[in-house]
């Protein structure tokens, strides 16, 4: 049975991704920040993905990782003059350092097996930028650049590295905004669902000849 590790898998896109992989027959592991959520059929492991030692323990506990989904991320809505260095460090820590640490750990075993897939979750704001989300946009643009570079590096070893870039998805992260205003921004006239993003992740995880790509799931915004 193939194994998938999903960071930030307790809610939203991460939880939907866990469900999709479960239905596909994978053994599913997810990271949670502190306490394990109720995820039937899923093994939840507390992990701080910004801590190299914690990430090492995580991969030792999981064993073989056939698919890594770097989904964990945090956001910040704040004008640049009000954004502190601490805000910057927090966002870049989770959104970029965490992706690097987990990808590095997964690659060690994948390189030995000459197979595997890494799917990173970025954002359409990493492609076009968002006002009042400068550092978030910066971090997600970094994920896209990292994806493309790592895909080039690992392709000769049979390892695919890709990225999904969700648009406005119906998750807790967007719950504070007026829904009608959000829907008005989308050519399809509705918010995306976490499952729609999850199915894009599954497609990339199971497409070995697709690598270095950024797949938008945004209803036509970008």
Choice among 26, 88, 136, 209 that is catalytic:
136
The answer to whether residue 136 is catalytic is yes
Residue that the structure tokens 């000849």 belong to:
209
Tokens of 123: 């954002």
| Rounded CA separation 148/146 (Å) | 6
Task: Specify which residues 160 forms β-bridges with.
Answer: 117
Exposure pattern of 168-183 as b/e (b: 16+ CB <10 Å)? bbbbebeeeeeeeebe
Judging by beta carbons within 10 Å of its beta carbon (0-12, 13-18, 19+), is residue 22 exposed, middle or buried?
middle
Active site residues per annotation: 136
């Amino acid at each position: 049975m193939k194994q998938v590790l999903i960071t930030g898998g307790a809610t939203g896109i991460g939880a939907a991704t866990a469900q999709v992989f479960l239905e596909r027959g994978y053994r599913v592991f997810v990271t949670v920040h502190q306490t394990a959520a109720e995820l039937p059929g899923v093994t939840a492991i507390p992990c701080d993905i910004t801590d190299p030692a914690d990430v090492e323990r995580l991969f030792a506990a999981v064993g073989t990782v056939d698919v890594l989904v770097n989904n964990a991320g945090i956001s910040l809505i704040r004008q640049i003059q009000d954004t502190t260095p601490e805000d910057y460090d927090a966002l870049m820590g989770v959104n970029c350092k965490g992706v690097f640490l987990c990808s590095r750990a997964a690659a060690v075993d994948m390189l030995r097996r000459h197979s595997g897939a890494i799917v990173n979750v970025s954002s359409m704001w990493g492609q076009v930028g968002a006002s009042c989300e400068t550092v978030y946009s910066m971090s997600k643009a970094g994920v896209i650049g990292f994806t493309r570079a790592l895909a080039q590096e690992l392709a000769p070893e049979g390892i695919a590295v890709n990225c999904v870039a969700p648009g406005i998805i119906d998750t807790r992260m967007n719950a504070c905004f007026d829904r009608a205003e959000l829907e008005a921004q989308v050519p399809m006239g509705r918010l995306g669902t976490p499952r729609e993003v999850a199915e894009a992740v599954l497609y990339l995880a199971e497409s070995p000849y697709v690598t270095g790509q950024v797949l938008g799931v945004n209803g036509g915004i970008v």
